[in-house]
């Protein structure tokens, strides 16, 4: 009989020496002759449950020996503190109940290819990696809301069906709205600007959609964005807001999720450096950096490092392949096989980087003032910094119609992108908004947009226009940076990508 001292694994520290019941799923198990080690997960953590023959009835012992991965169980036992055990505690089992058995769970502790895992995302969410990322994403979202709520911002829910394009028209998803075309929102910004004229400091937070024909590691077609908008703010104020905001989110994740960051192999030491002020570069300075000999040397140094890394990986693969030919225990063979898959995928990645390095070096060397910064340019600049970098004052012709021109140099706009460090790249885009009615009309026309569609937006410049601005931070890109994920598809539970929507 299971007693009902139900406990969660994350709270076991409060129950040392007590009898508790855990309810969860079998994550992994190992069997000796007279003892079973069952690793149970319950949504709050992992716990090793030790079942000794003789301490429970033989029939149950045999059932537990054969119960499959991901079977649901309740397990009762005495909580012991044990430093070596996963989570720092273990359970000396006195009783157990198999709630629902699972057989042939498709995702085994061995490695699987990414395609397989994406097709099985509904199950893969139970893996340690996805669990850690999900916990961190939760903290990021909570920290985002906390920051704005604590700093006098009002949450405004902007619409998902929209008639006006906030960003490039080519990336709008069209929907049939009772026979008329409408679009899925690309940004809440335009509606948010109207709310800023009522509430002063506002933010919206929701899903956004872009029909971007990009299959890169940084693009999803559906992603979540938080956007603050502030009345009476200039560019410097926006940069200060953004660096305080990002630093507060990083600090919260370090405080709440250190263990998950470590499990994921994230670069915790680098995250600890994320405090204001961040670096500031104008676009013109960034262009000079890209074309400088120093950058060419930096990239050549990287190429050298990547070649060494490749050699190292190849040696390890050869060693593992050699070992696989010999005799070994099954668990060791599985472990080797998993590492081999990992190593081969790392090798493929290094090969791609080695192939791309000269192309990126050439693009950087040939960079000309006026072009928008490409993904590889951003990567180079962000690789050269150990803290986030603001790139400001982009050429007007490369940017959206709503950005305010710099009145002291009409060729550039008062905008910024924030690049996360160590090669991660852009996580925020923002700007001061054009607040002059006639200039805004001129910009709308210049970009070939219909003035009629923006009549309501132009009203904001007719009735008490004020300097104002804001920015948008992509949640998945931020989580990918914090957790050192290579691809942002790992940072949303059910990713939608240009070429594939799996489940
Ligand atoms: O730079 P973006 O396009 O800026 C805007 O949408 C502004 N209207 C925001 C504002 O000023 N209120 O996008 C902002 C951020 C990017 O820096 C990136 O983090 C994320 O949104 N983002 C994407 N994330 C994933 N997949 C995509 N396809 C993304 N496009 C943008």
Q: What is the pLDDT of residues 145-163, one digit of tens each?
A: 999 999 999 999 999 999 9
108 found inside a domain: no
Query: Mean pLDDT over residues 327-344, rounded?
Result: 84
Q: Which two tokens stand for residue 248?
A: 């507060």
Q: Are 318 and 208 part of one and the same domain? A: no
Take atom 2 of ligand 1 and give the residue whose Cα is closest: 429
How many domains does one find in the chain? Answer: 3
**pLDDT band at 175, cuts 50/70/90?**
very high
Mean per-residue pLDDT, 301-318: 94
Rounded to the nearest angstrom, the gap between the alpha carbon of residue 153 and the centroid of all alpha carbons in its chain is 24
CB crowding 366-377: b at 16 or more within 10 Å, else e: ebeeebebebbb
Query: Of 308, 326, 354, which one is at a domain's C-terminal end?
Result: 354
Which atom of ligand 1 is least distant from the CA of 488?
25
Residue 344: domain span = 296-354
Give strand pairing partners of 154: 202
pLDDT at 237 exceeding the cut of 80: yes
Question: With bands split at pLDDT 50, 70 and 90, how would you rate the model's confidence at 349?
Answer: confident
The reply to whether 502 falls in a domain is no
**Strand ordering across the sheet containing 174-177:** 161-162, 180-184, 174-177
Ligand 1 atom nearest to CA at 426: 17
Q: Is ligand 1 within 6 A of the CB of residue 378?
A: no
Structure pTM?
0.94
In a domain, 498, yes or no: no
Question: Distance from the CA of 428 to the center of ligand 1, in angstroms?
Answer: 6
- 319 and 454 housed in the same domain: no
Q: Quick one: which of 224, 225, 207, 205 has its CA closest to 155?
A: 205
pLDDT at 167: 84
Residue 1 has pLDDT above 50, yes or no: no
Rg over CA atoms, the chain: 27
Based on the domain organization, do 153 and 87 belong to the same domain? Answer: no
366-424 pLDDT, tens digit per residue, is 999 999 998 899 999 999 999 999 999 999 999 999 999 999 999 999 999 999 998 88
Q: CA–CA separation, 306 vs 434, rounded Å?
A: 45
| Ligand 1 atom closest to 212 (CA) | 28
Where residue 46 falls (left for φ over 0; alpha for ψ -120 to 50; beta otherwise) is beta
Choose one of 100, 134, 157: the last residue of a domain: 100
Residue 226 lies in a domain: yes
Torsion angles phi and psi, residue 260, rounded to 5? -65, -40
Pick the range with the lowest mean pLDDT from 95-99, 227-231, 356-360: 356-360
Q: At 169, is the pLDDT very low, low, confident or very high (cuts 50, 70, 90)?
A: confident
pLDDT exceeds 90 at position 81: yes
Determine the pLDDT at residue 434.
Answer: 98
Please tell me whether residues 126 and 233 are part of one structural domain: yes
Question: Are 340 and 399 found together in one domain?
Answer: no
In a domain, 113, yes or no: no
pLDDT at 336: 86
Domain-terminating residue out of 54, 71, 100: 100
Looking at the structure, tell me whether residues 23 and 60 fall in a common domain. Answer: yes
Name the residue with higher pLDDT: 416 or 342: 416
Q: Are residues 59 and 91 in the same domain?
A: yes
**Pocket of ligand 1, candidates 225, 414, 424: which has the most ligand atoms within 8 Å of its Cβ, to mutate?**
225
CATH number at residue 379: 3.30.930.10
Check pocket membership of 476 for ligand 1, CB cut-off 6 A.
yes
Residue nearest to atom 6 of ligand 1 (CA): 187
CATH number, domain at 61?
Answer: 2.40.50.140
Angstrom distance (rounded) from CA 71 to CA 379: 44
| Domain assignment of residue 80, yes or no | yes
Q: Which residue has the higher pLDDT, 3 or 226?
A: 226
The answer on 485 and 384 residing in a single domain is yes
Q: What is the mean pLDDT of residues 32-52?
A: 95
More confident residue, 165 or 321: 321
* Together in a domain, 371 and 350: no
Report if residue 105 sits inside a domain: no
Do 47 and 172 sit in the same domain of this protein?
no
Both 154 and 263 in one domain: the answer is yes
Tell me the average pLDDT across 441-455: 94
pLDDT of 4 > 90? The answer is no
Query: 350 C-alpha vs ligand 1 centroid, how far in Å?
Result: 28
- Is 359 contained in some domain? no
Same domain, 328 and 196: no
Is the CB of 474 inside a 6 Å radius of any atom of ligand 1? yes
Q: Which atom of ligand 1 is nearest to the CA of 223?
A: 25
Q: Is the pLDDT of residue 32 over 90?
A: no
Q: What is the pLDDT of residues 458-488, one digit of tens each?
A: 999 999 999 999 999 999 999 999 999 989 9
């Amino acid at each position: 009989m299971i007693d009902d001292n139900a406990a969660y694994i994350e709270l076991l520290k409060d129950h040392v020496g007590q009898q508790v019941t855990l309810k969860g799923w079998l994550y992994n198990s190992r069997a000796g002759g007279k003892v079973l080690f069952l690793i149970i997960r319950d949504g709050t953590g992992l716990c090793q449950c030790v079942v000794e023959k003789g301490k429970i009835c033989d029939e149950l012992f045999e059932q537990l020996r054969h119960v499959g991965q991901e079977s649901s169980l309740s397990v009762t036992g005495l909580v012991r503190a044990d430093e070596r055990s996963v989570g720092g505690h273990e359970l000396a089992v006195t009783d157990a109940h198999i709630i629902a058995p699972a057989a042939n769970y498709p995702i085994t502790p061995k490695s699987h290819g990414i395609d397989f895992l994406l097709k099985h995302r509904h199950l893969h969410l139970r893996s340690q990696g996805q669990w850690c990322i999900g916990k961190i994403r939760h903290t990021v979202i909570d920290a985002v809301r906390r920051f704005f709520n604590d700093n006098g911002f009002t949450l405004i829910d902007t619409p998902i069906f929209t008639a006006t394009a906030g960003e490039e028209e080519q990336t709008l998803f069209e929907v049939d709205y009772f026979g008329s075309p409408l679009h899925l929102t690309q940004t809440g910004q335009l509606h948010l600007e109207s709310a800023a004229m009522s509430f002063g400091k506002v933010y919206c937070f929701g899903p956004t959609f872009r029909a971007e024909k990009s299959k890169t590691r940084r693009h999803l077609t559906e992603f979540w964005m938080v956007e603050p908008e502030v009345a009476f703010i200039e560019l410097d104020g926006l940069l200060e807001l953004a660096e305080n905001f990002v630093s507060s989110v990083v600090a919260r994740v370090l405080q709440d999720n250190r263990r998950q960051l470590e499990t994921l192999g994230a670069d915790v030491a680098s995250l600890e450096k994320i405090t204001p002020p961040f670096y500031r570069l104008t676009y013109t300075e960034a262009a000079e950096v890209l074309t400088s000999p120093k950058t060419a040397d930096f990239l050549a140094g990287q190429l050298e490092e990547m070649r060494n890394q490749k050699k190292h990986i190849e040696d390890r693969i050869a060693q593992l392949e050699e070992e696989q030919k010999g005799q070994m225990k099954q668990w060791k063979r599985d472990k080797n096989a998993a590492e081999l898959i990992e190593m081969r995928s790392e090798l493929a990645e290094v090969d791609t980087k080695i192939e791309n390095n000269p192309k990126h070096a050439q693009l950087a060397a040939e960079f000309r003032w006026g072009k928008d910064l490409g993904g590889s340019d951003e990567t180079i600049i962000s690789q050269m910094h150990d803290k986030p970098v603001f790139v400001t004052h982009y050429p007007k012709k490369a940017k959206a119609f709503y950005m305010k021109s710099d009145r002291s140099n009409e060729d550039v706009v008062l905008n910024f992108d924030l690049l996360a460090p160590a090669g991660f790249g852009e996580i925020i885009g923002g700007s001061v908004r054009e607040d002059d009615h006639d200039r805004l009309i001129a910009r709308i026309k210049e970009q070939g947009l219909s003035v009629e569609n923006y009549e309501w937006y132009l009203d904001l410049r007719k009735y008490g226009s004020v300097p104002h601005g804001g920015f948008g931070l992509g949640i998945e890109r931020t989580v990918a940076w914090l957790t050192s994920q290579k691809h942002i598809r790992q940072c949303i539970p059910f990713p939608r990508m240009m070429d594939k929507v799996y489940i």
